[in-house]
């Protein structure tokens, strides 16, 4: 017998177990290992998805299980796609999505560019900047609620310090005009470090010899930035945008903690609206159709995400 580790392990297997396994083919053993995972995947992901698609064609209400369920075809989809309130919640989601991505990309890239410069305390600053990303959204939502307090909130005092406006004259979470911006600020504060880290990875992947070649060709710093740095970081940036886009499209926890969808329904995102339809109004069939619409949208975006990821890998 050879002295390989695998042989030693095989010989150490108790005879009773070895006899049982001996009769099985490699394929069967592979299925035994993979089987539980596939079963869990089917039970937790695939079955609920198929069931939700099925429910989306019915008028089922989860709080009236004894009521006869009727198949109503595409009527739920028709209602959702002609409902002005849901359209408004989509617009609230779009406002949140657009501005958070805009600020996160702008600040994230700028921070990555600054951190990429070699200076003393570089690592310490990276750690400090990355801290907000590591906090729980529930904690972040709670302490920003205090920061936004018109009487005692630090945020109002900082704004007052720079603009001279009375700190108690505006309520970030209670004003119809300011509430959508309040959640944009918090999400930007929390997730800019994530964009920064991805951009930093992109910046550090650019070989120095490209810049050296550009220097020899007498390209200015600005020219180098636009013709080397930006194109080389772009796939990474796109990845960050898509990742944050998908996450923010499903945004729920932070908004619930901060505004709960209010005042009125100005910060009622699609996911909050969906939760209300499903578990407050108990329109299960209707909300299933809504969930499928959101799922297809996120799935579509995820497909683009995978494509972008493959492009980055090819590099």
Partner 1 sequence: MTRFFRGLFTLKRGPWEMVATLLIAVGVFMLMQPFVMWAYTYSFIVTLVGTVMFIIVSHFAEQE
Residues lying near partner 1 in the complex (CB under 8 A) are found at 77, 81-82, 84, 87, 90-91, 93-94, 97, 293, 296-297, 299-301, 303-304, 307
Angstrom CA distances, 138 to 88, 101, 243, 249, 284, stand at 25, 21, 21, 18, 27
CB 129 within 8 A of CB 193: yes
Least Å from the CB of residue 314 to partner 1: 12
Least Å from the CB of residue 249 to partner 1: 9
Least Å from the CB of residue 293 to partner 1: 5
Determine the angle formed by the axes of helices 122-130 and 84-116, rounding to 10 degrees: 170
Of 40 and 304, which CB lies nearer to partner 1 in the complex structure? Answer: 304
Least Å from the CB of residue 10 to partner 1: 40
Least Å from the CB of residue 38 to partner 1: 20
Of 147 and 255, which CB lies nearer to partner 1 in the complex structure? Answer: 255
User: Count of alpha carbons within 13 Å of 156, Cβ hemisphere only?
Assistant: 18
Of 91 and 142, which CB lies nearer to partner 1 in the complex structure? Answer: 91
Beta strands of 172-274 (E only): which ranges? none
- What is d(CA 32, CA 30) in angstroms, rounded to the nearest whole number? 5
- For residue 13, the 8-state DSSP code is S
Of 168 and 297, which CB lies nearer to partner 1 in the complex structure? Answer: 297
Measure the CA angle with vertex 157, ends 152 and 159; round to 5°: 140
Of 18 and 304, which CB lies nearer to partner 1 in the complex structure? Answer: 304
């Amino acid at each position: 017998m050879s002295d390989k580790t695998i042989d030693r392990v095989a010989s150490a297997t108790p005879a009773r177990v070895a006899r049982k396994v001996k009769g099985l083919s490699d394929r069967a053993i592979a299925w035994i290992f993979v089987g539980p995972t596939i079963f869990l995947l089917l039970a937790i992901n695939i079955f609920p998805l198929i069931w939700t698609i099925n429910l989306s064609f019915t008028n089922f209400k989860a709080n009236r299980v004894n009521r006869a369920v009727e198949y109503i075809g595409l009527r739920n989809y028709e209602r959702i796609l002609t409902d002005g309130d849901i359209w408004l919640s989509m617009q609230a989601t779009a406002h949140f999505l657009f501005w958070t991505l805009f600020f996160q990309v702008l600040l994230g890239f700028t921070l990555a560019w600054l951190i990429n410069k070699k200076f003393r305390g570089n690592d310490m600053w990276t750690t400090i900047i990355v801290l907000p990303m590591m906090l729980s959204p529930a904690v972040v939502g709670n302490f920003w609620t205090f920061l936004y307090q018109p009487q005692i909130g630090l945020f109002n005092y900082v704004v007052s310090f720079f603009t001279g406006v009375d700190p108690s004259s505006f309520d970030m979470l209670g004003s119809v005009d300011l509430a959508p911006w309040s959640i944009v600020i918090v999400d930007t504060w929390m997730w800019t470090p994530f964009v920064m880290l991805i951009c930093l990875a992109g910046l550090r992947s650019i070989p120095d010899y490209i810049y050296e070649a550009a220097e020899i060709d007498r390209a200015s710093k600005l020219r180098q930035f636009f013709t080397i740095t930006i194109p080389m970081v772009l796939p990474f940036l796109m990845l960050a945008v898509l990742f944050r886009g998908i996450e923010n499209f499903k945004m729920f926890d932070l908004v619930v903690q901060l505004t709960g969808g209010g005042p009125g329904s100005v910060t009622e995102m699609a996911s909050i609206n969906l939760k209300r339809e499903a578990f407050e109004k108990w329109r299960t069939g209707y909300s299933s159709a809504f969930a499928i619409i959101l799922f297809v949208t996120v799935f579509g975006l995820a497909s683009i995400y995978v494509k972008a990821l493959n492009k980055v890998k090819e590099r």
